[in-house]
Amino acid sequence: MPSESLIRLMTDVDLAGIAELAQSVDPYAWNREQFRGCLLGAHYRNWVLEQAGSIIGFLIVIALEDEYELVNLAIAKSHQHQGFGKKLMAHLFQQSHEQKMASIWLEVRESNIPALQLYKKCGFIQTGIRRDYYPCKSGREHACVMQYRLAQESTTANQWQ
């Protein structure tokens, strides 16, 4: 039986593993130095998801005033579609409530169906499009801008958790 997964703060020791995981699931992934920058940035909040001593996912947000911006999220290929993405998102919602955030924002490639589905399932609403925002094989692709408004949450929100 797989051991319980846990979420903890990212540290310097995690950087090599995080960069490797990111590069294995995203051709445009950040490198180790970019992840190090997140650890050094005063507004960044960085978490890892660990199981049996191995990092199987991570989540990075920027906190500005009463808003979080989700800037990076990934689950190792071997652990995808098993609910771990939802587990990190549930952690983000818990943190957002504790920190009394009003909104969570994010941008996602319009071709990234797994991520779009995950965010929709979590209650995010698409609020706009940034045209030609990301590089891709065929040139550029649009980003979907999505928002979750905690301030207007109903008591039935987040039943997916």
Asked about 119 being catalytic, the answer comes back as yes
Report which of 59, 158, 153, 156 is spatially closest to residue 100, judged by C-alpha positions: 153
Cα gap 123→76, rounded to integer Å? 23
Q: Does 73 bind ligand COA (CB under 6 A)?
A: yes
Q: Does 26 bind ligand COA (CB under 6 A)?
A: yes
Cα gap 138→2, rounded to integer Å? 40
Cα gap 42→7, rounded to integer Å? 20
Q: Does 86 bind ligand COA (CB under 6 A)?
A: yes
Q: Does 127 bind ligand COA (CB under 6 A)?
A: no
Q: At what angle do helices 84-98 and 113-121 cross, to 10 degrees?
A: 50
User: Based on CB atoms, which residue is closest to ligand COA, 70 or 100?
Assistant: 70
Q: Does 85 bind ligand COA (CB under 6 A)?
A: yes
Cα gap 145→161, rounded to integer Å? 23
Residue 57 and residue 76 in contact, taking contact as beta carbons nearer than 8 Å: yes
- Among positions 11, 31, 99, 117, the unique one binding ligand COA when judged by CB under 6 A: 117
Point out the catalytic residue in the list 107, 110, 141, 153. 107
User: Based on CB atoms, which residue is closest to ligand COA, 54 or 82?
Assistant: 82
Q: Give contact residues for ligand COA (rule: CB under 6 A).
A: 25-26, 73-75, 80-86, 108, 112-115, 117-118, 121
Cite the active site residues.
107, 119
